[in-house]
Structure 1
Amino acid sequence: MADGEKESPDAPTSYDEAMEALSSLITKRSRGNNSNKGNQFDLLFHYLKILELEDALDDLKIVHVAGTKGKGSTCTFTESILRNCGFRTGLFTSPHLIDVRERFRLDGVDISQEKFLAYFWWCFNRLKERTTEDVPMPPLFRFLTLLAFKIFSAEQVHKYWFHLQHCLSCLSSETQLNWDLICYSFFVQVDVAILEVGLGGRFDATNVVQKPVVCGIASLGYDHMEILG
């Protein structure tokens, strides 16, 4: 890189740096604790606007699954069934066991590190640049939920084919054969995204989805009462 040339703000950096940035979003939550403004549910709509995800989220077909026990398994089974029926799937679950990329699966496979870094820094840097004291950075789970929306709405399959056009022209009694190569690109988004609810409750980050195509509810019980009440 030339002297004085600035690195692009969206340029992927090391995975360790991304994990360090992600860790900075961890907050301690408790019922009745309003010290972290990022936990306010209405701020999610500001974040969607900052990330230009409002229309994309409306266009995304989402299966939204809640529950105390079994919601993760229900999401996994649903994703597998849909994928084997020919749908291109996105799956967002939590928590992860080893690597945060386990939370984001495309067609049954964890998102690659390269793609994760590209989407992560795009979202993180944009939020960092445009958040304020009144609209601070979102806490960890809310950021990961927004990141899932970005991944599923932006991830595309590129299908290319070439149309070979045969043009015949005459130049000074000579015949010249011209071949024009025209490339068409078609984009097919994720057909359906399956979202697992986080802690649950009315203000769970995944509830920013306004028009899920299907809602699922697994077994319910009393959990996270110190936060949810």
Structure 2
Amino acid sequence: MDAPRTPEDALRFFQALNPSGIKLGLERVKDALAALGHPERDYPALHVAGTNGKGSTCAFVARALEAAGHRVGLYTSPHLVRVNERIRVSGEDIPDDVFGQRILEVLERYPSALSDPMTYFEFGTVVALWHFSRERVDVAVLETGLGGRLDATTAANPVVTCVTPVSFDHMEYLGHTLSEIAWEKAGIFKFGVPVVLAQQEPEAEESLLRRAEQLAVPVKMERRDFGIDQEYNGKISYRGYGWGLEDLKISLRGPYQLQNAAVALACLAALRDRGVKVTPEAAREGLATARWPGRLEEVAQSPVIVVDGAHNPAGVAVLLEALDSLYAGRPLHLVFGVVADKDRGPMMQALFPLAASVHLTPLDTPRSLAPERYLAEARVLCPRVVAHASLEEALAGARADAVGRPDGVVLATGSLFLVGAVKRWVDRSLGATRQQQ
């Protein structure tokens, strides 16, 4: 493969890598980082694994660190609209020209990436860690991709690690029991490096604590060492490890964000113990001002369109709890799309009976499950189900149904691919309408 010569060529090279490709293992990433002079060692990092809540937890932590005056690198995945979202410094996506330049710099120092290409996620991780070094960030917040033990981000050098709630997802790679999946997530643990654990199912907790003991890892656990409480008058307080904070405001919607906020505050306390300056005021501001698109996000009105990235049974369970608190009694018109390797049955069984109508859509990914493949399943669960040939048709159908019922709400969920596609559609279609008005 010829080496790209311009930043534009470099971006095309990266986009040509298979976004759905998965190759577990750290050898390629470690070789690349060694060739780059180990940029991951230039800044302290928080490394976050888990099944659900990773992104929101990272968003809370990164925003608090920014409020404390730090230059913060944030690496998350997947992106919703543009790949640039995955790599952020001080709250800003990496610009196209800088992104392309960083790719050129990596390829110049590690030309093996041309003859033996890394996966999309591996290469993006290396570029992110290199970019954070070049940008001289004070601290980085890194979200794992698929698992932990063999995830590309595990080649990083964290001073604190964290595991959010573990549940069933990616079983073909991580195992078919919670114990096995949690053991893979615990692969981010480093000898003696403290870990913050969200409250877990007993089977997952046992695996995580067993691995922590083997590596002499100090552990802070939700409910045992810290937690957030919502009092009868609506006030929210955090008590336990590191802080005592009253009357907190949390910017992200949904009752489950209380847990993510608690875990984030514990992570900030652990970072402070490791020499990263964070004040109570900055921690408070981080919770109050963090933004994390695609999680219970209202993207349009008249009718209301809500997008949520729930893509596994545990994610749907917390989504339902949030819907009950935010949209109780309002007719729900569901736009649903799913990738073929997800456990769709429990998601459908939880969501579809609650919907006034369901509109099935394909996704813009080779992993998409065609609506016709599960249309019969869906019709057992909801009396009005329509399979559409495109997202545009599905949204048109759901919006028409919602307009026809008082206070109807359109909810798009089932995959982050779907969330990104809906946000692009809103920007393109409704944005153009607003400009004409």
Fold shared per TM-score above 0.5: yes
Q: What is the number of equivalent residue pairs in this alignment?
A: 173
Aligned to 2:125: 145
Map 1:92-171; keep pairs closer than 5 Å.
Answer: 92-127=75-110, 129-131=111-113, 136-155=116-135
- Counterparts of 1:63 and 1:90, CA distance in 2: 10
CA root-mean-square deviation? 2.2
Matching residue within 3, 21, 32 for 2:13:
21
CA-CA distance at 1:12 after TM superposition:
3.0
2:46 alignment partner, SS class = strand
- Counterparts of 1:28 and 1:222, CA distance in 2: 19
CA-CA distance at 1:27 after TM superposition:
6.8
Alignment pair present for 1:47 and 2:27: no
Alignment pair present for 1:197 and 2:144: yes
CA-CA distance at 1:85 after TM superposition:
0.8
- Counterparts of 2:174 and 2:51, CA distance in 1: 13
- Counterparts of 1:59 and 1:123, CA distance in 2: 16
- Counterparts of 1:114 and 1:131, CA distance in 2: 20
CA 1:29–1:105 in 2, change beyond 3 Å: closer, same or farther? closer
Aligned to 2:369: none
Name the aligned partner's letter for residue 170 of structure 2. Answer: H
Larger relative contact order (C-alpha < 8 A, sep ≥ 6)?
1
CA-CA distance at 1:205 after TM superposition:
0.6
Deviations 1:92-127 (Å, cap 9, x if unpaired)? 000111111011111011112221111122224543
CA 1:76–1:132 in 2, change beyond 3 Å: closer, same or farther? closer
* Identity percentage of aligned residues: 38
CA-CA distance at 1:76 after TM superposition:
0.6
Name the aligned partner's letter for residue 161 of structure 2. Answer: C
- Counterparts of 1:114 and 1:29, CA distance in 2: 25
Aligned to 2:172: 226
Deviations 1:39-58 (Å, cap 9, x if unpaired)? 442232211122x232x322
Map 1:20-99; keep pairs closer than 5 Å.
Answer: 20-26=12-18, 39-50=24-35, 52-54=36-38, 56-99=39-82
2:142 alignment partner, SS class = strand
1:114 alignment partner, SS class = helix
CA 1:28–1:193 in 2, change beyond 3 Å: closer, same or farther? closer
8 Å Cα contact 1:10/1:122 also seen in 2: no
2:80 alignment partner, SS class = coil
CA 1:41–1:217 in 2, change beyond 3 Å: closer, same or farther? same
CA-CA distance at 1:19 after TM superposition:
4.2
- Output the TM-score relative to the length of structure 2: 0.37
Name the aligned partner's letter for residue 141 of structure 1. Answer: F
CA-CA distance at 1:138 after TM superposition:
1.1
8 Å Cα contact 1:53/1:149 also seen in 2: no
CA 1:111–1:23 in 2, change beyond 3 Å: closer, same or farther? closer
Alignment pair present for 1:12 and 2:6: yes
CA 1:116–1:59 in 2, change beyond 3 Å: closer, same or farther? same
1:63 alignment partner, SS class = strand
**Per residue, is there more helix in 1 or in 2?**
2
CA-CA distance at 1:26 after TM superposition:
1.1
**Per residue, is there more strand in 1 or in 2?**
1
1:223 alignment partner, SS class = coil
- Counterparts of 1:115 and 1:47, CA distance in 2: 19
Deviations 1:15-37 (Å, cap 9, x if unpaired)? xx44431233217657xxxxxxx
CA-CA distance at 1:141 after TM superposition:
0.4
8 Å Cα contact 1:26/1:140 also seen in 2: yes
